[in-house]
């Protein structure tokens, strides 16, 4: 997840080792897991890392 101001993005896989940034809306967080309310389909593949810009 990429946090930039009040906006959150994830990088989703669009091809073999190719990623595209997509805005998402977050819900609850346990500190380990974060609920994504909007912006992704259940089967979407993405990178797992955290960035704060």
- pLDDT tens, position by position, 1-53: 888 999 999 999 898 889 999 999 999 999 888 899 999 988 888 877 666 65
Answer yes or no: is 30 within a domain.
yes
Answer yes or no: is 21 within a domain.
yes
Domain total in the chain: 1
Residue whose C-alpha is closest to residue 5's, from 36, 43, 51: 51
Q: Which domain holds residue 8?
A: 2-41
Report the pLDDT value the prediction gives residue 51, as an integer from 0 to 100.
63
Answer yes or no: is 47 within a domain.
no
Report the pLDDT value the prediction gives residue 31, as an integer from 0 to 100.
85
Answer yes or no: is 25 within a domain.
yes
Report the pLDDT value the prediction gives residue 21, as an integer from 0 to 100.
93
The angle subtended at Cα 2 by Cα 38 and Cα 4, nearest 5°, is 95
**Does the pTM exceed 0.85?**
no
Answer yes or no: is 19 within a domain.
yes
Report the pLDDT value the prediction gives residue 8, as an integer from 0 to 100.
92
Report the pLDDT value the prediction gives residue 30, as an integer from 0 to 100.
92
Answer yes or no: is 53 within a domain.
no
């Amino acid at each position: 997840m990429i946090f930039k101001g009040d906006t959150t993005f994830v990088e989703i896989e669009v091809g073999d080792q190719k990623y595209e940034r997509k805005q998402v809306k977050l819900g609850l967080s346990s500190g380990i897991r974060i609920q994504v309310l909007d912006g992704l389909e259940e089967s979407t593949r993405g990178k797992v890392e955290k960035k704060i810009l």
